[in-house]
């Protein structure tokens, strides 16, 4: 465990206690989970079997990332995420936002079950078992909350990311005409407007034409922050599967 504390005199973080002498030792792990604040570069990092924690002077929202150390996990992730443009796995030891892995767990389970039963792939299976065990445990609160909310076709602001699966068809309306539109979801990011109010920026794409050429066009929508639960169909943009007339809309 490494603990970082803010030093007023030097104006920077300093290590006050450590049982991990070198961060390079983290390379021995299959993956490393870290939490980075939006305030500054210091972060909280948790590895499989080891923890490094930062204590931020000004605690703010944190985003969890997973640094992939295992080449087996990396290569299988590359396979299941090859059509997800919002996930980059090009680096030798890539880092992925943890939320991005929520929707690929089923594919990872499937890939593990398809691995050949031989000595070469036994290691891959063991690595994936550890990885999936962590993901399933980490996402259990979201799974449980989502199950109850979707039973009533509702969602909370903090769980919006759960219903927007990469490349899913989403429903929205045209600005001005209010005509129905069906687009493909690309990615989302929480942002703030000029007044400081939070909103979810939703990036989408569709096939369009300027009269001469046909190609992919990007567009965006936003979902203002809201309190409590709301009906999914009342959102400005949402996965089309939750539309009460989804079959008609698709036509």
pLDDT in tens, 16-27: 444 444 444 444
- Tell me the per-residue pLDDT of 132-160, one tens digit each, with 9 for 90 and over: 999 999 999 999 999 999 999 999 999 99
Q: Are residues 67 and 181 in the same domain?
A: no
146 part of a folded domain: no
Give a three-class secondary structure readout of the chain: CEEEEEECCCCEEEEEEECCCCHHHHHHCCEEEEEEECCCCCEEEEECCEEEEECCCCCCCEEEEEEECCHHHHHHHHHHCCCCCCCCCCCCCCEEEHHHHHHHHHHHHHHHHHCCCCHHHHHHHHHHHHHHHHHHHHCHHHHHHHHHHHCCCEEEHHHHHHHCCCCCEEEEECCCCCCEEEEEEEEEEEEECCCCCEEEEEEEEEEEECCCCEEEEEEEEEEECCCCEEEHHHCCCEEHHHCCCHHHHHC
Determine contact, residues 16/5, Cβ cutoff 8 Å: yes
Q: Are residues 122 and 167 in the same domain?
A: no
Q: Are residues 176 and 54 in the same domain?
A: no
- Tell me the per-residue pLDDT of 181-193, one tens digit each, with 9 for 90 and over: 899 999 999 999 9
User: For 49, what's the count of Cα atoms within 13 Å in the CB-facing half-sphere?
Assistant: 9
Q: Are residues 115 and 53 in the same domain?
A: yes
Taking Cα atoms as reference points, which of 142, 172, 158, 186 lies closest to residue 242?
172
Q: Are residues 8 and 102 in the same domain?
A: yes
In this prediction, residue 2 carries a pLDDT of 37
Rounded mean pLDDT of the chain? Answer: 81
In this prediction, residue 85 carries a pLDDT of 86
- Which of 27-31, 189-193, 244-248 has the highest average model confidence (pLDDT)? 189-193
Determine contact, residues 197/120, Cβ cutoff 8 Å: no
Among 141, 174, 199, give the residue marking a domain's end: 141
Is the pLDDT confidence value at 119 over 70? yes
Q: Are residues 128 and 158 in the same domain?
A: no
Q: Are residues 66 and 43 in the same domain?
A: yes
Domain residue limits at 220: 152-250
How far is residue 51's CA from residue 36's CA, in Å, rounded to a whole number?
14
In this prediction, residue 86 carries a pLDDT of 85
Q: Residue 102 corresponds to which tokens in the numbers above? A: 């929520």
Determine contact, residues 188/161, Cβ cutoff 8 Å: yes
- Tell me the per-residue pLDDT of 193-237, one tens digit each, with 9 for 90 and over: 988 899 999 999 988 767 777 888 889 999 999 999 999 999 999
Q: Are residues 208 and 240 in the same domain?
A: yes
Among 117, 141, 165, give the residue marking a domain's end: 141
CA 94 to chain centroid: 14
Q: Are residues 10 and 98 in the same domain?
A: yes
Q: Are residues 105 and 187 in the same domain?
A: no
E strand or H helix at 219: strand 214-224
Q: Are residues 226 and 108 in the same domain?
A: no
147 part of a folded domain: no
CA 45 to chain centroid: 17
Q: Are residues 201 and 115 in the same domain?
A: no
Taking Cα atoms as reference points, which of 69, 70, 146, 79 lies closest to residue 111?
79
């Amino acid at each position: 465990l490494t603990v970082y504390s803010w030093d007023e005199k030097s104006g920077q973080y300093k290590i006050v206690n450590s049982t991990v002498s070198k961060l390079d030792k983290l390379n021995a792990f299959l993956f490393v989970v870290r939490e980075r604040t939006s305030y500054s570069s210091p972060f909280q990092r948790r590895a499989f079997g080891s923890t490094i924690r930062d204590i931020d002077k000004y605690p703010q929202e944190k985003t969890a990332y997973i640094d992939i150390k295992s080449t087996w996990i990396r290569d299988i992730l590359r396979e299941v995420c090859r059509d997800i443009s919002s996930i980059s796995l090009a680096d030798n030891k890539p880092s992925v936002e943890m939320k991005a892995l929520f929707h690929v767990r089923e594919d990872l389970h499937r890939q593990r079950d398809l691995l050949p039963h031989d000595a070469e792939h036994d290691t891959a299976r063991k690595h994936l078992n550890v990885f999936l065990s962590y993901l399933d445990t980490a996402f259990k609160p979201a799974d449980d909350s989502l199950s109850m909310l979707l039973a009533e076709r509702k969602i909370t602001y903090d769980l919006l990311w759960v219903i927007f699966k990469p490349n899913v068809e989403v429903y929205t309306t045209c600005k001005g005409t209010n005509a129905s539109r069906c687009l493909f979801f690309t990615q989302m990011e929480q942002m703030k407007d000029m007044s400081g109010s939070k909103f979810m920026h939703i990036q989408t794409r569709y096939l369009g034409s300027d009269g001469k050429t046909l190609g992919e066009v990007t567009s965006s929508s936003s979902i203002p922050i809201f309190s409590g639960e709301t009906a999914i169909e009342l959102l400005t943009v949402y996965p089309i599967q939750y539309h009460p007339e989804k079959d008609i809309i698709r036509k």
